[in-house]
Amino acid sequence: RKEVEQDPGPFNVPEGATVAFNCTYSNSASQSFFWYRQDCRKEPKLLMSVYSSGNEDGRFTAQLNRASQYISLLIRDSKLSDSATYLCVVNIHKLIFGQGTTLQVKP
């Protein structure tokens, strides 16, 4: 079983749509959690940290469920510029990256 699992997609959505990505992790000792964004042929960049209480940054909402070992990212009112691969990341003394979920927002 992979340490961090994501549905690779692609998710094709129209502008303005709400889209949700899910991620599961296998190691219950995982300490911290993140979503990174990677544009095509570019480096990963931190999008946001994920907390058990849930956290929001503009149109982006991240949620962590430690009991289920499940992380989610919700994007509201999708923009064309949101098209990218979203990487679920878990910290167990080092960063473990999921394969990424590709989002394509269409006009």
Greatest alpha-carbon span in the chain = 42
Nearest to 105 by CA among 19, 5, 42: 19
Binding positions for other proteins, 39-58, rule CB under 8 A: 42-46, 49
- 56 in Cβ contact with 72 (< 8 Å): no
Stretch that binds other proteins, among 9-17, 20-28, 37-45, 59-67 (CB under 8 A): 37-45
Binding positions for other proteins, 9-28, rule CB under 8 A: none
Q: Which of 18, 27, 32, 65 binds other proteins (CB under 8 A)?
A: 32
The whole-angstrom separation of Cα 49 and Cα 47 is 7
Q: Point out which residues bind other proteins (CB under 8 A).
A: 8, 32, 34, 42-46, 49, 85, 87, 91, 94-95, 97, 99-100
